[in-house]
Amino acid sequence: MLVARTVGLTMESISVWTDAHPVVMALLIWPLVSAILVFLCTPRTEEEYARMNPRLAATLKLIAALGIDPLKALEALQQITERRKK
């Protein structure tokens, strides 16, 4: 009972904070959600895209284009750090 009460208070405080800071939440939540969707759903090769339903493949490409691709982001960060070292 105490755990449920504590979780309820925590969720309530999170809800109050998110209502008070909608811009911050948009800047945090959209990149996180899009990165998860891209990482879990997007095929990595053109052959995988070719085997999919064309509309589904196009939808996944759109999600990747509008969001953050974590693998490409890490690749870009690696390139940035390598150029700084030279």
pLDDT of 41 reads: 73
Whether 50 maps to a domain, the answer reads yes
Query: Could you read off the pLDDT of 1-27 as tens digits, one per residue?
Result: 445 455 556 778 878 888 888 888 778
Amino acid at residue number 25: M
Average pLDDT over residues 68-75: 74
| pLDDT at residue 6, as a whole number | 55
pLDDT of residue 1: 47
- Residue at 7 is within a domain: no
4: in domain: no
In a domain, 3, yes or no: no
Classify residue 81: in a domain, yes or no.
yes
CB atoms within 10 A of CB 3: 7
45: left (phi over 0), alpha (psi -120 to 50) or beta: beta
Structural domains of the chain, count: 1
pLDDT band at 66 (very low <50, low <70, confident <90, very high): confident
Domain coverage including residue 80: 21-85
Half-sphere exposure of 19 (CA within 13 A, CB side): 6
46-51: average pLDDT: 82
List CB contacts of 71: < 8 A, sequence separation 6 or more.
39, 44
